[in-house]
């Protein structure tokens, strides 16, 4: 039964990721036609920068939480909830100084990674999202460890759809071609796609 469950979870996650990758490809193609290849390049740089900052700030919280919670489940009278809380505290202790540094040095970081200091405001907004990303990563690792992959899969799908839907809606509503405004819209979509999954996973955990 356990082997069948693992196989089902693997197939389920593979299908979900395949569908999301196809949707992401279509989304990128639409973006290139809508705002031009140069603006899409700026968005890709901004997204890569946010992912890098989130990885440094979160200390790969999803993998760590999944590993340690799995080990705790194997112990007699183990307490995975305590391990999750320790992981979240560690991520926050790491996120706060990293987020502060990104916020304070937004202008040079923007000039270095995004090729222009005009995106400094967007970089500062990204720094404010890092704690939510760290908490969400730990919760994802917890649900993976307790074999609730359907929760993390739904969360991944919701995150992508919220980010893409928010960005598409803002672009269609404004019709702007200004790279700075487009980057600001990207941050708005990141905020929706980061905060909502964090809240969703928190509610699922306490339920």
Alpha-carbon span 46 to 41, nearest angstrom: 9
Alpha-carbon span 126 to 61, nearest angstrom: 18
Alpha-carbon span 185 to 63, nearest angstrom: 30
CA-based max dimension of the chain: 59
Question: Do 152 and 109 meet the contact criterion of CB atoms below 8 Å apart?
Answer: no
Spell out the per-residue pLDDT of the chain, length 207, in tens: 455 566 776 777 778 888 888 888 888 788 777 777 777 777 787 888 888 888 877 767 788 888 888 888 777 777 788 888 888 888 888 888 888 888 888 888 887 777 777 778 888 888 888 888 888 888 988 888 887 878 888 888 888 888 888 888 888 888 777 777 888 888 898 899 889 888 989 988 887
- Record the pTM: 0.82
Name the phi and psi angles at 177, rounded to 5: -120, 5
Q: Which residues contact 72 (CB under 8 A, 6 or more apart)?
A: 78, 79, 80, 82, 83
- 121 to 100, 140, 150, 188: CA distances (angstroms): 14, 29, 36, 12
Question: Do 65 and 145 meet the contact criterion of CB atoms below 8 Å apart?
Answer: yes
137: which 2 tokens? 């990563």
The neighbour count for residue 129, using CB atoms within 10 Å, is 22
Alpha carbons within 13 angstroms on the beta-carbon side of residue 207 total 8
Length reported for the chain: 207
Question: Do 95 and 134 meet the contact criterion of CB atoms below 8 Å apart?
Answer: yes
* Model pLDDT, residue 178: 78
Sole residue written with tokens 């989130």: 54
Question: Do 115 and 45 meet the contact criterion of CB atoms below 8 Å apart?
Answer: yes
Ranges of beta strands (E only) in the chain are none
* Model pLDDT, residue 1: 42
117: which 2 tokens? 């200091």
């Amino acid at each position: 039964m356990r082997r069948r469950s693992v196989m089902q979870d693997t197939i389920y996650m593979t299908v979900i990721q395949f569908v999301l990758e196809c949707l992401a490809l279509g989304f990128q193609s639409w973006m290139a036609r809508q705002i031009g290849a140069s603006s899409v390049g700026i968005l890709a740089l901004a997204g890569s920068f946010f992912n890098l900052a989130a990885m440094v700030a979160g200390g790969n919280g999803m993998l760590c939480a999944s590993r340690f919670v799995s080990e705790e489940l194997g112990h007699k009278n183990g307490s995975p909830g305590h391990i999750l809380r320790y992981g979240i505290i560690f991520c926050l202790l790491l996120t706060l100084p990293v987020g502060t540094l990104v916020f304070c040095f937004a202008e040079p970081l923007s000039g270095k990674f995004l090729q222009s200091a005009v995106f400094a405001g967007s970089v500062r907004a990204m720094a404010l999202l890092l704690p939510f990303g760290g908490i969400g990563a730990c919760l994802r690792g917890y649900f993976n460890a307790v074999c609730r992959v359907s929760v993390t899969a739904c969360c991944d799908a919701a995150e992508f759809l919220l980010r893409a839907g928010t960005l598409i809606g803002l672009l269609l509503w404004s019709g702007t071609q200004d790279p700075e405004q487009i980057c600001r819209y990207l941050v708005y979509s990141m905020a929706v796609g980061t905060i909502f999954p964090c809240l969703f996973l928190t509610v699922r955990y306490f339920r």
